[in-house]
Structure 1
Amino acid sequence: MNGIRKTDKTRAFAMRCIAIALVLAFVASACVAKMAFVQLLGRSTAIAAEQERTSRITLNAKRGRILDTNGTVLAQSLERYNIVADPMLANEFEPVKCTKRTESYCHQINGKSLDVTGAAAVARLLASVLKGTNAMELGAKMSDSNRRYVVLAKDVTPEIKRKITALHLGGIVYGELTNERVYSDGTLLGPILGGIDDEGKGVAGLEASLDDTLNGTDGYQVYQRGNNVGEQIPGTLTESKEAVNGSDVTLTTDGDVDWYVKKALLDGIKKYNASWALGVVYDLKTGGILALEDTDEYEAGSDAAKLNSSRVVSSTFEPGSIGKVFSMAGELQEGLHKATDRFTVPDTITTSDGQTYKDAETHGAEQWTYAGILKNSSNVGMIMAATNYSDEKRHEYLKKFGVGTLSGLDLAGESAGMLGNWQDWDLRTRNTVLFGQGYTMNALQITRAIATIANGGVMPSLKLVQSVTDAQGHVTEAKTGASTRVVDEDVAKQVLNAMESVSDLYSNMVSVPGYRIAAKSGTAEVAGDDGTLSSIISDWSGIIPADNPRFVITVVMKDAKVGSFGGLTAGPVFADIGEFLMQKYNVPTSAKRTDAIPVEW
């Protein structure tokens, strides 16, 4: 019996041990499971926290500058900041009252502690330095506590950003570096420079056509940011790429000349009561455009400058009698005439196809040379001289002088004008093209055509961009397009000589003391606001000095009420600009004229 009881006790003890072992095993398993869970959860939480702290910050590339030929900055991007808030942290914000211990990081406005907390308190602090905003608007932007990013203000200056930093809102409010495009000369070259959009992309003018050159490549940094200060935690930068700034572009324009041209044009429309005026100055020595202005007052970068092209490139019109230069040059080149050929010119002519043409002024039968026909701007004389000048040749030389062809400057909004196919000309148009009617041009095209005569018969390639300087300072001179010979040098000299006689005719109104001028004026009817031929274009394009050509200046006016002929309105403005150029560039005075081709016989 004793043995049985001992066996039962042993069995019972063993069962208790097994039970205890099972309990301990269960507890150990639970602990291991708990430990694994805690480790996994902790790792997941750590990863989540790290991801929460990790920021990818864009390093904005600065857009390149646009400068004039003197290095004067016309457009540049200045350091600015977008002020950003974390609404979740803003709603948890508790202002720190100012004491001796907390004075380096406390929060107050004008020496007074805040009586609110959360986003409202953050908004009040910001409104005290962000002028033009109010606390209610700022608070509303931060009201959604589930958001982590909201832009409160754009293009804030570094000075304001420093004031925001002094509010001790690190981690809640911070600044992201950006750039603001600013233009230094107001309405000068307004639509020519154009503007950029909110994303910093060029959308008009040179800002658009040169966008790839001016625009840089943004960089970035990936790092962890502390919640308390909002700054980078040292040693946490994991990835980065430097921003590459855009290239600077230097133009051929001279700010002083452009300013003076603008002033002369504005004075001109006031003096002659004109609707608008425009002007171009081309430097034969450098091949660059020195000025291209109109009387519109659109500030560069403004919506108006983005929506409107400069009249210099967008306005096309019949050049009027300036077109006689192209016809005369073509006929001389084809060997049909010389400038000394003699004509007896009445004031009216009826052609064999029954079309009648008149000169602008009544006169008797005048004995003029071809040079005299140009000097007196005779439509009748031009028709008489073109007897053997075929329609196909008339069209060919107009095309050679650039009619209907873009200037090559790649300016936004430029119109090529209109030149119809010679086979489509009607009986009247085939003759009106001889004196600048029946086709249209813009001021740049006229300037290039007259520069062809000044350049010995070779059409130059106009240039507006002088050079490009990349972010490393490497300078690349802009390539100059190919020049094209249009007429022989001797032909160009004869036409230039006749154009100087034109200027002599207007010497009482158009003169630059000490300098000879070769020019041609024009007047043409154009469509007015009512769609009928109720408006007048008055233009003048000239070369100065005539004996040693340096500059070509074109001035155009619309609806001048005080004198409508180009020589009476656009001409004097030309002279004003010419005199300024002679003084600024210290151009030697002209030799006395001794080789004038006779204009009468």
Structure 2
Amino acid sequence: MVVVLMVFAGRLVHIQVIKADHYAAKAEEVRLTTVDIPTTRGAITDASGNPLAMSVETRTVFVDPVTVLDDERDKVIDELTQRFDLERADVAAKVGDESSRYKEIAQDVAPEKWKKLKEVGLTGVGALPDYKRVYPEETGAADVLGFTGADGHGLEGLEAVLDDTLAGEPGKQQVEVGSSGVRIPMADGLTQEPVPGKDVRLTLDRDIQWHASQALNERAEELDAVGGSAIVMRPTGEILAMADFPTYDRSEFSEAPAKARLNGAVSEAFEPGSTNKVITLAGALEEGLTTPDSVYTVPYSMQIHDRTFKDDHFHETQRLTLNGILAQSSNVGTIKVGQQLGKQRLYDYLRKFGFGEPTGLDLPGENAGILADPDDWWGTQLPTISFGQGLSVNAAQMASVYATIANDGVRVEPSIVAGTVSEEGGLDPSAAPPRERVVSSQTAQELSRMLEAVTGEHGTAQAARIPGYRVAGKTGTANRVDPETGTYNGGYTAMFVGFAPADDPELVVQVVLHNPKGEYYGGQAAAPVFTDIMSFALKSEKVQPSGTEPPNIRLFGNG
């Protein structure tokens, strides 16, 4: 027995004296763990710094059932039940469950609310810091901004695209974990300070965004459209508003169908219809094949191979200038111009104006549309593409075409992120978007005058006029393909896109309505929305009325 006791004593001396430091370190390793300390997600603001998405500090309130005093148990249950509007039985079950020392009671609790509860002095009730993502109401930008998940990271929209910039880096802290699993923060356990995310400033204007959303939604609901979009942008590509219909409530995003969460301004591809005619005419003008006053004989219909092409409304054979072809949106006249230009050159100009490739906005779900290689065009594809059938685009691409004309022929890739905000509050601007001259200044000015005739006395969009301002633009009405049959039985897409003031362009507005009922021509369905949005945007931007009279444009030839 003496020998056995001596062995045990020697072993104790070895563990507690000789190897004491070693085993203490091992024990500490078992008890210690590293946890994340939440950090603030950067805000998303409009161009003036108005918040569109922001993070607010909150608390997660919990109870440690082991430390709740017996004589306070009922008071703890009552206070938690009343302050957080909970079922008393559920709270009582958590307070009485001593199998865990951490029972979550409420999330997203305002700091002021927690402070008042803390002042009651209840033993066993605590709170952990956290952050909640909030979106100011009535911005109309849900489809653009997207939302974050429960972990605070972006799931859709700009929240997802800009997640690395907005999220920041959480801090790291060592905590000691007891046998019951409760975490005990260590006074010197902070191993990494949390780094807040950066604020991102967009080119959007909060007021214009809201108004565009309201005007679009009202008209889309009035005409029972299945979808639609509205874009306001500067000729230099900065997007001031990007509204979509249908949309959704971000506070209940999990209940919204996927289609309602898509940003249709970039995800919905459609045939551009007559809004595409401006590219055909731009190419012919730029190549010196025609002039605004060149006269064409335009019948109501013409036969090409096995197809008969017609204008929208019957008319006797007319003598129209190039101005008149665009003002009256003649399909037949545009086909004749397209034949002058030829398929290769038409394709080249479509590409120069940005078709068949992403816009550069880098928004989720973008559909770059379809533009077939000219070597694959069959007999009637040159005529159809010349007036806007047989290819597809998204709304942002089409808006960029008219921005290019308004910008004196120079295309600037559309942009929506102005930059990030530095710690000092200044703007660190995003890289300048690519620029390319597509047509000459002369061609752009000629097109502007021609587009102004569209809103004139003999044009197709008199509903797009705005008192005091000269307006240039184009209607579009395109057949929609039925995805089930592959035929043009899916209704219509109504469009209007234009800029103002036509004599000194400041703003471009694009409106698209998918399958409106009753009124479906672009001049009837979409032009009034254009007028509403453009009128508001001009006033909001304090754009002065036009100081010049519209030019006298010759639409008809002699004889």
Deviates more, 1:324-333 or 1:473-482: 473-482
1:169–1:388: structure 2 CA closer, same or farther, 3 Å change rule?
Answer: same
After superposition, residues 342-491 of structure 1 pair within 5 angstroms as 342-351=295-304, 353-471=305-423, 473=425, 475-491=427-443
1:541 to 481, 494, 497: 497
* Corresponding residue number in structure 1 for 2:240: 290
Write the distance in 2 (CA, Å) between the matches of 1:314 and 1:595: 38
1:95 to 51, 66, 69: 69
Write the distance in 1 (CA, Å) between the matches of 2:206 and 2:22: 63
Write the distance in 2 (CA, Å) between the matches of 1:523 and 1:65: 40
Write the distance in 2 (CA, Å) between the matches of 1:137 and 1:401: 63
Does 2:549 align with 1:593?
Answer: yes
Deviation at 1:81, TM superposition (A): 2.3
Partner of 1:542: helix, strand, or coil?
strand
* Corresponding residue number in structure 2 for 1:521: 475
1:510–1:30: structure 2 CA closer, same or farther, 3 Å change rule?
Answer: closer
Contact 1:246 1:470 in 2 (8 A): no
Does 2:21 align with 1:70?
Answer: no
Write the distance in 2 (CA, Å) between the matches of 1:187 and 1:582: 19
One-letter amino acid matched to 2:44: I
* Corresponding residue number in structure 2 for 1:280: 231
One-letter amino acid matched to 1:456: D
Q: Deviations over 1:358-377 (max 9, x none)?
A: 11111111111111111111
Deviates more, 1:31-40 or 1:248-257: 31-40
Deviation at 1:143, TM superposition (A): 3.8
* Corresponding residue number in structure 1 for 2:36: 58
Deviation at 1:572, TM superposition (A): 1.3
* Corresponding residue number in structure 1 for 2:262: 309
Count residues with an aligned counterpart. Answer: 548
Partner of 2:552: helix, strand, or coil?
coil
| TM-score between both structures, scaled by the size of structure 2 | 0.88
Write the distance in 2 (CA, Å) between the matches of 1:142 and 1:582: 64
Write the distance in 2 (CA, Å) between the matches of 1:221 and 1:338: 73
1:273–1:202: structure 2 CA closer, same or farther, 3 Å change rule?
Answer: closer
Q: Deviations over 1:33-83 (max 9, x none)?
A: 878777799989987997798675532111000011122111111112233
Greater Rg over alpha carbons, structure: 1
1:207 to 159, 162, 165: 159
Write the distance in 1 (CA, Å) between the matches of 2:53 and 2:476: 36
What is the alpha-carbon root mean square deviation over aligned residues? 3.4
* Corresponding residue number in structure 2 for 1:82: 60
Write the distance in 1 (CA, Å) between the matches of 2:27 and 2:115: 29
Q: Deviations over 1:285-333 (max 9, x none)?
A: x641111102323123623679421111111111100111000001111
Write the distance in 2 (CA, Å) between the matches of 1:183 and 1:306: 20
One-letter amino acid matched to 2:299: P
1:60–1:384: structure 2 CA closer, same or farther, 3 Å change rule?
Answer: same
* Corresponding residue number in structure 1 for 2:128: 176
Contact 2:455 2:462 in 1 (8 A): no
One-letter amino acid matched to 1:318: E
Contact 1:108 1:125 in 2 (8 A): no
* Corresponding residue number in structure 1 for 2:90: 136
One-letter amino acid matched to 2:266: V
Deviation at 1:344, TM superposition (A): 1.4
Contact 2:495 2:526 in 1 (8 A): yes
Partner of 2:512: helix, strand, or coil?
strand
1:546–1:44: structure 2 CA closer, same or farther, 3 Å change rule?
Answer: same
1:134–1:41: structure 2 CA closer, same or farther, 3 Å change rule?
Answer: farther
Contact 2:61 2:106 in 1 (8 A): yes
Deviation at 1:574, TM superposition (A): 0.7
Percent identity among equivalent residues? 32
Does 2:189 align with 1:189?
Answer: no
* Corresponding residue number in structure 2 for 1:322: 275
Structure 2 unmatched runs, 5+: none
Write the distance in 2 (CA, Å) between the matches of 1:527 and 1:166: 65
Structure 1 unmatched runs, 5+: 1-22, 98-106, 111-121
Deviation at 1:406, TM superposition (A): 1.4
